[in-house]
A and B are shown apart, each in its own frame.
Chain A
Amino acid sequence: MKSLPDTTLGRALARAVLAASAALCVSLAGLAETPRAIAGETGVSETAPSSLRRLTEAQYRATIADAFGPDIKVSGRFEPEMRVQGMFAAGLRTVGLTPGGLESYEGMARGIAAQVVDPAHRARLVGCAPSSADIEGKACASAFFDRVGLRLFRRPLQSDERAVLTATSLDAARQLGDFHAGLAAGLTGMLVDLPALFQIDRYVPDPARRGQRTLDAWSRASRLSYLLWNTAPDDSLLEAARSGMLMTDAGLAAQVDRMIASPRFRDSGRAFFDDFLQLDGFSSLSKDALLYPAFRASVPAAAREQTLRTIDQLLFVEGGDYRSLFTTRRVAMNRVLSPLYRIPLSSHDWSMVDLPADDPHVGLLSQIGFMALHSHPGRTSPTLRGKAIREIFLCEEVSPPPANVNFAIVQDTTNPQFKTTRERLSAHLDDDECASCHRRTDGIGLVFERFDGAGQSRQTENGELIDTSGTFDKAPVADPAVLGTAIGNSTKASQCLVRSAYRYAVGRPVGPGDAALLTRLDGVFVSSGYRMAALFRALADTPEFYADPATQRPFAAQPASRSK
């Protein structure tokens, strides 16, 4: 095959396909897609203007892997995401594509397309070629785009889409003298088209709820799949969409049950908690090597993985209680992290270990990762730790410090007058303006002072025995174990998890209209024993999850949960 990515012609062809998309890309802020008449042969109903939700990096990668296989490499930089109400997922409907981002997606698309049609993959991934009966390869290209389109657009191609892609590819093939190069040009365009990069919500009248609109079957399949598996729909789900079963309560429930029972549900669990816990911070985390020599360059990625593996095992593999995360001594461990915990590890791979009963690391909050992530590069920060717990686990908002605040006292760790962080913070709080905010954070954060800025256990600071007493909700707490229990058992923490899961599911901030549903989900979560599967099942089962927010009215009360 001729080299596509660097040829002027290849660029021109990809641009041509991009131009077709550009018409749809008039205003991502308005999230409006040009309506298309797609009734008829595909069975897709004509829809009203719909909203867009950009795929996350993980979703894009998983979608490509599902469509073409895990050996197809995706190389490139993804557009930055924006946190709304603490979640990237909630900001995905308010982000678009910058010109630079589009360029980057195009680069990735070229790389993917080149691999798909290369000699090593074309037999499996293209599956046909021009022949005496199909001299130009028109039938082959058409069949290829039909098959791939179902995966990448998560719905059947419209006839005009298929025609444009096929014609563009054959035109490119003629000019390049290479059928597969032409096919790659078409695929490149397809990969940067909006239906590939965004989940597109298409609404139809809700047959079960008069006057309301709900997602059509294909959009429903996408939403369900990205919620429960963090990837595109599989064959079974697409078939349920095609047959219309997904539009029935029974058909939907059967798919939800199937997907939650699948090991792929764990992928979604990872994706949710990576977002919820704001673990992206690990990608830019570093520590002072002289102060924390055990915090090697490999530690941040391992710490992120430790958090996710621990959650995966406890909540998704074992189906445990969410609150147990705050008190567990079971933790995923590898040899990168075991030196920071000062424990032996015989396994060379990740394994679950039980920390000793006297080990101070208790629960997610005192794991190396959380402690290090919410510290400064060379010292701890009770304020950052307390702020993170309030914002992430309790969904509270903590105001940033004023611009003119004087940090001199808290930053001077060598001041013999203030040997411990507690003493330095106390001196800092002589300023009333500072004290008001710090009261909300430091009472929690000071409890973790026996973990240094890298999350390692310590007893003293500058020779002084560290005091770990603190407060949570006006009650005194003595140490991280007590605090973890208190936070885990608080209604706030449970409700925060539910609201974060909801934001993750719907891809937008929580609004006043969501109150009734959220109350119902709170009940489901509590009555299930704080099980993630029950919460996600309730989310995926509820009609509100698929309803058009523009027409949504309060739904009749739903059953608390199905008995699963």
Chain B
Amino acid sequence: MAGIKRMRSVGLAAFAGLAFVCCGTMTLSQGIPGAAGTYGYVLRTFYYPVQADSQSCPRQSVGALEMFEQSLSDAERAEYGGPANREKLIKLMAQRLGLKNMKITGTRRAESVDAAELDRLRAEAGIAPGKGALVSLGSRLAYDTCTNPEDFPQFDRGNQPFLGAVSIGANLDGRVSRGNFTSPDGTRGIDNNLLRATGCNLGVKDYGDSKLAEKSLRSQTAPTVIELTGVESFVNDDDVTLRVYAAAQSVDLAANGDALPFASIDVDPDPRYSAQVKAKIRNGVLTTEPFAFTLREKESVVETYNGFIDTRFKIRFNPDGSMAGEVSGYQTLESLDYTYRHFSQAAADFSATSCPAMISAIHGMADGGRDPRTGRFSAISSAYRFSAVPVFLIHPTPVGNKEARK
């Protein structure tokens, strides 16, 4: 028994020591704001869990390519159907529907291309004025069912709602309504319509598999960092500030392929991705007030963002200095539309997704950000799970300070 007591006290001492190392060194660094009680983290995972089974998803949503195949005559299906003829089928769909996908010289970020340049590229690609989008990290100009779902109403069908009853998240509206989930700890009234709308889509389902998602670094090349300041206790502290920033660099990788703890990461001061909110720590769990923030995201083919309003963090701290938790709130339709518009037809085909159906379902289940004038919703309830490792955040030195140092 004495041995067990000793081990426990050593464990606590180790945790305290780790925290002390963080604080002590942070205060010594040059150009880092905040005194003792400042902690940085970089997100390693960020996903909405989907536990899809035969009851939650008795039928799977159908992708645009599959719908197109179903629309063919028997003779054409014989020629273009089946896995072996998939490439031929994709070409046929592009030809029949007038889909375009032009590689452009020099990769450009969508936001850096002005209207005149975009019009010139459209003309070159044979895309009608006002249509299409730069996709694949700006390497292609495309016109397809994702860039312009409104032009392909024939694919606005086949999306299957998620019928499961359990989800992480929070009761955002304070009501227990039909269609709400129950949380794993039994809390009723959990709002997560994004899961309802998209959970039976093959791509979402796979990406939401916790076993897979916990091993997948999210937005490795354009990560988000979190900074906590004013932390006096990781057990109980009523006055903590949580800030969200974009990082100005990739996640440093450890030898095992995971995010490297205690790396020094430069903060991108871009105000679009910067936000802050007050938080409290009670019994070792940090919760924030609802606030609005935007997470930049860059994956292999998509550079986009996730906008949130009225959203809160709930965080638990681990003895190794890492953190994990949930983000519950309303994700803006604007950011979801943007994401799917830049999804690309190839990615949609690969994941058996119908962008028109998916976007339509999301809009149909929107339940947040209601405009009191029009009554329209501009966001949809969602719940994400995330994890983050401790890092040192390096804020850019203000120009004035640089001059003073010189």
Contacts and interface: CB of A to CB of B under 8 A. Distances in A.
A296 B7 CA distance: 31
**Most chain A CB within a 10 A radius of its CB, from B11, B21, B253, B397:** B21
Interface centre among B26, B262, B394, by most A CB within 10 Å?
B262
Nearest to A297: B255
Contact of B263 (A290, A335, A356, A463): A335
B28 interface: yes
A354 B25 CA distance: 10
Which has the most chain A C-beta neighbours within 10 Å: B14, B32, B393?
A: B14
Interface stretch (A73-81, A340-348, A543-551): A340-348
B10 A346 contact: no
B132 to A, nearest CB: 39
A294 B321 CA distance: 14
A292 B256 CA distance: 9
A339 B255 contact: no
B299 interface: no
B30 A296 contact: no
B258 A346 contact: no
B394 A344 contact: yes
B255 A356 contact: no
Contacts of B41: none
Contacts of B29: 343-346
Given A289-B255, A339-B263, A459 B394 contact: no
Which among A290, A293, A338, A340 has the greatest number of chain B C-beta atoms within 10 A? A293
B392 interface: yes
Interface string B29-71: 1111000000000000000000000000000000000000000
B23 to A, nearest CB: 10
A198 B20 CA distance: 55
A358 B23 CA distance: 12
Contacts of A287: 255
Nearest to B392: A344
B260 interface: yes
A235 interface: no
Contact of A345 (B13, B261, B392): B392
The DSSP consensus for interface residues of chain A is loop
Contacts of B255: 287, 289, 292-297
A478 interface: no
Contacts of B30: 346
B119 to A, nearest CB: 40
A394 to B, nearest CB: 32
A349 interface: no
A290 B21 contact: no
Nearest to A358: B24
Contacts of A128: none
B17 interface: yes
Interface in A282-303: 287, 289-290, 292-297
Contact of A294 (B7, B21, B262): B262
B392 to A, nearest CB: 3
A460 B13 CA distance: 10
A140 to B, nearest CB: 47
Nearest to A457: B21
What is the interface of chain B mostly: helix, strand, loop, or mixed?
Answer: mixed
B254 interface: yes
A71 interface: no
Contact of A460 (B10, B22, B26, B252): B10
B139 to A, nearest CB: 28
B256 A293 contact: yes
B250 interface: no
A297 B392 CA distance: 21
Interface string A447-487: 00000000001011001110000000000000000000000
Nearest to A464: B10
Nearest to A342: B262
Interface string B232-265: 0000000000000000000011111010111110
A356 B21 CA distance: 9
A344 B260 contact: no
Contacts of B11: 463
Interface in B50-100: none
A294 B26 CA distance: 19
A344 B17 contact: no
A290 B258 CA distance: 10
B263 A459 contact: no
A324 B20 CA distance: 27
A338 B24 CA distance: 14
Interface in B245-297: 252-256, 258, 260-264
A345 to B, nearest CB: 5
Contacts of B253: 296
A295 B30 CA distance: 25
A133 B28 CA distance: 71
Contacts of B264: 335, 338-339, 344-346
A292 B258 CA distance: 12
Nearest to B397: A346
A307 B29 CA distance: 21
B37 to A, nearest CB: 15
Interface in A314-339: 335, 338-339
B201 to A, nearest CB: 34
Given A344-B26, A346-B32, A356-B28, A339 B10 contact: no
Contact of B10 (A290, A294, A296, A465): A465
A356 B25 contact: yes
Contacts of B25: 342-344, 356, 359
Given A338-B263, A463-B11, A294 B254 contact: yes
Interface string A62-101: 0000000000000000000000000000000000000000
A342 B40 CA distance: 12
Contacts of A457: 21
Contacts of A292: 255
A460 B254 contact: no
B392 A293 contact: no
Contacts of A294: 254-255, 260-262
Contacts of A296: 253-255, 260
A175 to B, nearest CB: 48
A478 to B, nearest CB: 18
Contacts of A359: 25
A457 B26 CA distance: 17
A465 B262 CA distance: 23
A342 B260 CA distance: 11
A296 to B, nearest CB: 5
Contacts of A297: 255
A429 to B, nearest CB: 24
Contacts of A339: 252, 260-264
A459 B31 contact: no
B393 to A, nearest CB: 8
Nearest to B263: A339
A465 B14 CA distance: 9
Nearest to A357: B24
A459 B17 contact: yes
A553 to B, nearest CB: 58
A289 B25 CA distance: 26
Contacts of B254: 289, 293-294, 296
Nearest to B20: A358
A474 to B, nearest CB: 31
B181 to A, nearest CB: 36
Nearest to A292: B255
Contacts of B10: 459-460, 463-465
13 contacts: A287-B255, A289-B254, A338-B264, A339-B264, A343-B392, A346-B264, A354-B28, A356-B28, A358-B20, A459-B13, A460-B10, A463-B11, A465-B10
Given A339-B252, A344-B392, A463-B7, 19 more contacts: A287-B255, A293-B255, A294-B254, A294-B255, A294-B262, A296-B253, A335-B252, A335-B263, A335-B264, A338-B262, A342-B262, A343-B25, A343-B262, A343-B392, A345-B264, A346-B31, A358-B20, A359-B25, A459-B14
Q: Which 6 A-B pairs have the closest CB atoms?
A: A344-B392, A293-B254, A289-B255, A344-B29, A339-B262, A293-B256
